Amino acid sequence: MPHPDEIERLSRIVVDCGFHIHNDLGPGLLESAYEALMAEALRQAGLKVRRQVNVPLTYNGVVVDNAFKIDLLVEESLIVELKSVEKLAPIHGKQLLTYLRLTGLPLGLLVNFGQAMFKDGIRRVVNNHRGGRSTD
């Protein structure tokens, strides 16, 4: 489990990179464009980033190899889900919480580049559940 101080450091870097991208380009691009730009900005900040990470799920003995994909996985410790919509819906946060519970990670960031003000598009989602990938 990553140290809480490290997770907070990573989240600050993600928010800073996202702010600069949003400030320079504004809302309106496709989610895939923001994903590519964020991944590169985080790499330039010295972080390891993986895009579209397939995560398997085991439930009642059934394995689903590609149960979901994480938009960005930063330092194998922080999930970043990106959106480019006018307004986040409650399901977006619930989806990220499910990802956190299934991976056992403590924190995820939901970043919506579609909002006029970047600060209005950032949501922290905390996993208080100590589960893992298997739910057998």
pTM of this structure: 0.89
Q: Which CATH class is domain 4-126?
A: alpha beta
The pLDDT tens digits for 80-94 are 999 999 999 999 999
The pLDDT tens digits for 112-131 are 999 999 999 999 999 986 54
What span, in angstroms and rounded, lies between the C-alpha atoms of 49 and 63? Answer: 26
Domain residue ranges of the chain, discontinuous segments joined by +: 4-126
What span, in angstroms and rounded, lies between the C-alpha atoms of 118 and 99? Answer: 23
The pLDDT tens digits for 26-49 are 998 999 999 999 999 999 999 999
What span, in angstroms and rounded, lies between the C-alpha atoms of 26 and 136? Answer: 44
